Amino acid sequence: MNMDELKRQAAAKALEHVQGGMKLGLGTGSTAKHFVDLLGERVKGGLKIIGVPTSEATRIQAEACGVPLTTLDEIDHLDLTVDGADEADPDLNLIKGGGGALLREKIVAAASDRMIVIADDSKWVPKLGRFPLPIEVIPFGLGATRRAIESVFAQCGLTGEMVVRPGKDGHAFVTDGGHWILDAKLGTITDAPRLGTLLGAIPGVVEHGLFIGLANTIVLAGSDGIRVVE
Ligand code: 5RP
């Protein structure tokens, strides 16, 4: 079975948790895209839900699928967010941001009563850190921000190469919020909650891709079936 089919199966499993009347956070990435497609089919069949997209890409896709949308200014909470991840560990901590949407993804996840992560089982790791950690930064003062980040890495016993994520035409990738992303190749992160707290305190860091304590359920699709971790 190919990877895309596994992603679709994970998305279909998460859809079982959606009920009429729910306010949903809609994730970003190739796995979340399947969820929005499948949700759109259910909406066309009469399911009444409303969604908050985590990126402009998801907003455009959801609109095209006929999924009604709102914002976190218009509603006070979400019942459920369904999103992908770049890595998930047994504590249900995540690395996200491979698609560059980590800031809105974290705002939406934090506003949700529940978060279901959908992924193929290659995303499951004993410890986070194989996937480069995305850190969303303000372009102003980048040198100072980088040095502060490196100092935090050293405090956490981590070293690693950090690069500005490239976008089109040799320029930096620009997020939906107008920021840049540093991708840090760290290797095993022994204390992800501490690293997240320290990174979050750096001026110039808008957000980082460590999602600590936000996910409630991970749906992993593999060639031997679907595994649900809670
Ligand atoms: C986007 C994300 C994605 O959820 C993550 O990159 C996983 O994407 P995919 O489902 O395409 O593997 O965090 O910012």
Q: Could you report the per-residue pLDDT of 72-84, keeping only the tens digit for each?
A: 999 999 999 999 9
Residues with a catalytic annotation lie at 105
pLDDT, tens only, 195-227:
999 999 999 999 999 999 999 999 999 999 999
- CB count, 10 Å around CB of 52? 25
Q: Would the CB of 82 count as within 6 Å of ligand 1?
A: no
Please tell me if the CB atom of residue 30 comes closer than 6 angstroms to any atom of ligand 1.
yes
**Global ipTM:** 0.98
Q: Which of 2, 7, 31, 81 to mutate to test the pocket of ligand 1 (most atoms within 8 A of CB)?
A: 31
Predicted pLDDT at 169: 85
